[in-house]
Amino acid sequence: MNILGIETSCDETAAAVVKDGRLVLSNVVYTQIPLHVPYGGVVPEIASRAHVEKISEVVRTAMSDAAKSGDPDAGRIDAVAVTYGPGLSPALIVGLNAAKGLAKSLNVPLIGINHIEAHLHTPFLREPGPGEGDMGPGPEDAMPALGLAISGGHTTWLDMPAYGEYRVVGQTLDDAAGEAFDKAAKLLGLGYPGGPKVDRIAREWFETSGASSRDLIPFPKGRPREGVTALAGLPAECCVSFSGLKTALLRYVQQNGGTEALAAAGEVPRIVASYQEAIVQAVADRTRTALKRRNCKALIVGGGVSLNSRLRAVLADTCRRAGVRLLMAQPKFCGDNGAMIAALAYYRRNKTGDAAMRLDAAPSLDFETS
Ligand code: KG4
Ligand code: ZN
């Protein structure tokens, strides 16, 4: 079964065709990042207009790339899937309308998909090629698992007792990890999006300076304040809060002469590496605690921040010590893409029909058990 997946929840216009929920026959991502750089963040109206301008071309290319993939049934589309939340409302609407029109014209079902849930499906994506026969464990084989959705809008730990069942066991009480990276980069004048820049600068600093963790600035490790987690109804040991870290960074910069003086003194890489380490250690620590509390076969990580090289290394170590399998996507599937939407839709084939055609954008869509 081939599903065409469409994704326009933020600043990527993306479409892909995936066979039977796992095999990616095509994957086209048009990133709008250069359009948002001058504003230091995503501007919803600019995102929406750019989605309108690009969506037809992106979908057409995804369909023609799939047809050329060599798979005997690649020219056939059996269903259309689309992100309906969470995300930016004006951006989501563009994808939803395109998907509804396409499903009608192709006379196939439409399937609405939760963007964050789709990120957790990315470790199961495979590409055609010599290793195609060996698909590795599928989503159902990986349960029970702990899920970690870590992106620009989410840092959430989920208990996944069976495939498609979710219970939030921990989350950020303020900024998401990606947001914390982006805000620090902005403060330090590194530009948007901050995550990839922080990652690269920190890696180069460790490699070239020979520095160790003893050389890092001791920024706070994302512990929520007492009493605050009770409001969220979640245990403090499984939650993070990055507002204290952000304030500590701001104070450090102010007390040391400001961004320009620190840049002139060549201090920015050490600050960046220290800040990244605080986020990574906070996430790893809460993951460790969450893993200890349940019997999991795997840790499933998805979302743009899972591209972070330091986070990947530290979580690999965490899982090795806990005797748990780490399931993380190939880097090309970590950011927003249509393949994850099409892939998850295969497992959500029951969620279609007239109700799907009436779906509205759901900017604050939560986790749902399907
Ligand atoms: O999943 P995603 O593409 O979009 C959302 O659903 O939010 O995640 C985007 C976020 C941004 O905050 C970006 O700075 C962050 O992922 N990010 C990274 C890295 N690459 C992207 N954060 C840390 N290290 C990276 N290498
Ligand atoms: Zn995303």
CA dist 182 and 177 (Å) reads 9
pLDDT value of position 363: 94
- Å from CA of 235 to ligand 2 middle: 25
% of the chain residues with pLDDT over 70: 98
263 alpha carbon to ligand 2 midpoint, in Å? 31
Q: Which residue has the higher pLDDT, 202 or 233?
A: 202
Given the CA of residue 335, which atom of ligand 1 is nearest to it? 3
Tens of pLDDT, residues 18-71: 999 999 999 999 999 999 999 988 999 999 999 999 999 999 999 999 999 888
Min mean pLDDT across 9-18, 217-226, 264-273, 326-335 is at 217-226
* 133 has pLDDT over 80: no
**Above 60 in pLDDT, residue 369?**
no
CB 60 within 8 A of CB 338: no
Whether the pLDDT of residue 158 is over 80: the answer is yes
Ligand 1, atom nearest to 154 Cα: 7
Average pLDDT score over residue span 230-242: 89
Identify the pLDDT of residue 321.
Answer: 97
Model's pTM, two decimal places?
0.94
Integer Cα distance of 43 and 128 in angstroms: 36
Please indicate whether residue 310 or residue 230 has the higher confidence score (pLDDT): 310
Judged by its nearest atom, the ligand closest to the C-alpha of residue 151 is 1
Mean pLDDT computed over 277-305 = 96
In the predicted structure, residue 345 carries a pLDDT above the cut 80: yes
Q: Is 163 helix (H, G, I), strand (E, B) or coil?
A: coil
Q: Indicate the DSSP class of residue 306.
A: G
Residue 2 has phi, psi (to 5 degrees) of -105, 125
Pairing relation of β-strands 167-171 and 12-19?
A: unpaired
What span, in angstroms and rounded, lies between the C-alpha atoms of 324 and 353? 38
pLDDT at position 70 is: 84
pLDDT at 240 over 60: yes
Report the alpha-carbon angle 367-368-370, nearest 5: 145
Dihedral over Cα of 323, 325, 85, 359: its sign: negative
CA gap 184, 272 in Å, rounded: 8
For residue 198, how many other CB atoms are within 10 A of its CB?
Answer: 26
User: Which pLDDT band, with edges at 50, 70 and 90, does 368 fall under?
Assistant: low
Residue among 8, 83, 115, 305 to mutate when testing ligand 1 (max atoms within 8 A of CB):
305
CA of 153 to the centre of ligand 1 (A): 9
The residue nearest atom 23 of ligand 1, judged by CA position, is: 195
State the chain's mean pLDDT as an integer.
Answer: 93
Residue 352 has a pLDDT of 66
Kindly state the percentage of the chain with pLDDT values over 90: 82
What is the average pLDDT across 111-129? Answer: 94
Do 259 and 276 form a contact (C-beta atoms < 8 A)?
no
Phi and psi at residue 110, to the nearest 5°? -110, 140
